[in-house]
Homo-oligomer: A and B are copies of this chain.
Amino acid sequence: MDRIRANFNKQVFMRTLGAELVSWEKGFARIACDIAEQHLQQHGYAHAGILASIADSACGYAALSTMPDDAEVMSVEFKITLMRPCTANRIIADGRVLKTGRTLVFTEGAVNDANGSETYATMTATMFCLRPVE
């Protein structure tokens, strides 16, 4: 099993949410989540927090995929814009690296429905890279 997937499997919170790592390549990661009653807010839409959680993770794994094997990444900050209420049965969060530096990795993300026809949220996130002492 690859290191990105192994790392994802250690994120207990992703399991709590029922999220799965769909795919990744260098500079990109995709996480999906079937929306169930447990994810809803008071109007019956998926809660902003579930969208933020999987988009942040997708951005983090996109960043990690550009790092050496023994590096780690932490979220410094992110902004999420919730463009429309999320009524999808399944949401897909894509994270993409815009620029990788020595210490900081700049990423962007989007949360779409399963066939990519509707975008519910966009994100920009800054990741901090923890490299092993050299």
Q: Which residues of A contact B (CB under 8 A)?
A: 7-8, 10-17, 37-43, 47-50, 52-54, 56-57, 72, 74-85, 98-99, 103-104, 106, 108, 119, 122, 124, 126, 128
Q: Which residues of B contact A108 (CB under 8 A)?
A: 122
Chain A binding surface SS class: mixed
B119 and A98 contact, CB distance less than 8 A: yes
| 5 more A-B residue pairs beyond the given contacts A50-B53, A81-B106, with a C-beta to C-beta distance below 8 A | A12-B38, A16-B38, A52-B53, A77-B80, A104-B128
Q: List 24 A-B contacts (CB under 8 A).
A: A13-B38, A13-B41, A14-B47, A16-B16, A17-B49, A42-B72, A48-B56, A49-B52, A49-B53, A49-B56, A52-B52, A52-B56, A52-B80, A74-B85, A76-B76, A76-B81, A76-B104, A77-B77, A77-B80, A78-B80, A83-B99, A103-B103, A104-B128, A122-B124
